């Protein structure tokens, strides 16, 4: 009798242990499924974040046209576009054209004017293009040609931007040398159509044949073209 009870108890305990192992296996599978779902969701979220970050990084490479032109943007640090540039109206870049005509032409003092009153900080056009300047009273900066070539990009940009109209016409004359007489780009104009023609012509031109200041002008005009067509 006793042996029968023991056998029954033993069998019952053994059966209970078997059910526990099955439950444990089911629990393990369910937990594994949960982990897999979590991993899948986490990857989807991460991919979404990386995709948005990629778009943001791409946009950040594009210069904000408002900050580039005026030095200000209503979006500030939240702007989707890059503010990593020197604004075109910066005192570090732009020389006051009224002051250059005559110091009395500018109604602002050097401190109040948003543009520079220090021509000595800007390269002389004749010095850069012709290699020398005969005007002994010239207020601009004069450097040997080899030193001008070594100037950093900001210094060269200053020169090109302050001589933009003159250099644009110089570039047009250079481009027109290889164009048909009936397909000449007009000089002196200042419109989107002219800008389109210049950019299209530049893309067909070997930039290695251009002096550095005209090379810089192609970059400036291409940027103007992008800004004009930016929506």
Determine the structural domain holding residue 189 and report its residue range: 152-231
Residue 129, domain member (yes or no): no
Position 109 confidence tier, pLDDT thresholds 50, 70, 90: very high
Are the beta carbons of 199 and 221 closer than 8 angstroms?
A: yes
Residue 36, domain member (yes or no): yes
Same domain, 4 and 76: no
Same domain, 68 and 48: no
Residue 138, domain member (yes or no): no
The mean per-residue pLDDT over the stretch 125-141 comes to 94
Q: What is the pLDDT of residue 155?
A: 87
Question: Could you tell me which residue, 23 or 56, shows the higher pLDDT?
Answer: 23
Q: pLDDT tens digit string along 47-62?
A: 544 444 444 443 445 7
Same domain, 161 and 215: yes
Same domain, 209 and 173: yes
Q: Is the pLDDT score of 106 beyond 60?
A: yes
Q: What is the pLDDT of residue 1?
A: 46
Are the beta carbons of 52 and 70 closer than 8 angstroms?
A: no
CA distances from 60 to 76, 79, 152, 165 (A): 13, 9, 24, 29
Residue 104, domain member (yes or no): no
Same domain, 34 and 46: yes
Same domain, 177 and 221: yes
From 22-26, 55-59, 96-100, 126-130, the region with the lowest mean pLDDT: 55-59
Same domain, 9 and 72: no
Same domain, 47 and 82: no
Same domain, 178 and 199: yes
Q: pLDDT tens digit string along 151-202?
A: 988 788 889 989 999 999 999 999 998 888 888 888 876 666 678 888 888 8
Are the beta carbons of 122 and 158 closer than 8 angstroms?
A: yes
Are the beta carbons of 167 and 149 closer than 8 angstroms?
A: no
Residue 50, domain member (yes or no): yes
Same domain, 51 and 75: no
Position 77 confidence tier, pLDDT thresholds 50, 70, 90: confident
Q: What is the pLDDT of residue 54?
A: 46
Domain end residue (candidates: 88, 106, 136): 88
Residue 29, domain member (yes or no): yes
Same domain, 211 and 185: yes
Residue 120, domain member (yes or no): no
Same domain, 68 and 37: no
Q: Is the pTM of this model over 0.75?
A: no
Taking the CB of residue 86, how many other CB atoms lie within 10 A of it?
15
Q: Find where tokens 């001008």 sit.
A: 148
The mean per-residue pLDDT over the stretch 27-31 comes to 73
Q: What is the pLDDT of residue 131?
A: 92
């Amino acid at each position: 009798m006793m042996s029968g009870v023991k056998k029954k108890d033993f069998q019952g305990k053994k059966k209970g242990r078997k059910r526990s192992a099955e439950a444990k296996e089911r629990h393990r599978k369910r937990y594994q499924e949960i982990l897999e779902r979590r991993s899948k969701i986490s990857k989807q979220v991460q991919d979404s974040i990386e995709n948005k970050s990629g778009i943001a990084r791409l946009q950040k490479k594009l210069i904000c046209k408002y900050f580039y032109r005026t030095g200000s943007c209503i979006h500030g640090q939240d702007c989707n576009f890059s503010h990593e540039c020197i604004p075109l109206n910066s005192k570090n870049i732009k020389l006051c054209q009224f002051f250059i005509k005559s110091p009395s032409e500018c109604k602002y003092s050097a401190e109040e004017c948003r543009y520079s009153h220090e021509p000595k900080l800007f390269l002389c056009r004749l010095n850069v293009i012709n290699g020398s300047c005969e005007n002994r009273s010239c207020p601009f900066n004069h450097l040997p040609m080899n030193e001008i070539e070594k100037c950093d990009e900001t210094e060269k940009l200053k020169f090109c931007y302050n001589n933009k109209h003159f250099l644009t016409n110089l570039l047009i004359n250079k481009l027109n040398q290889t164009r048909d007489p009936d397909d000449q780009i007009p000089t002196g104009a200042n419109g989107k159509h002219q800008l389109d023609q210049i950019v299209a012509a530049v893309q067909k031109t070997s930039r290695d044949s251009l002096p550095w200041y005209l090379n810089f002008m192609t970059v400036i005009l291409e940027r103007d073209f992008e800004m004009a067509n930016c929506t």
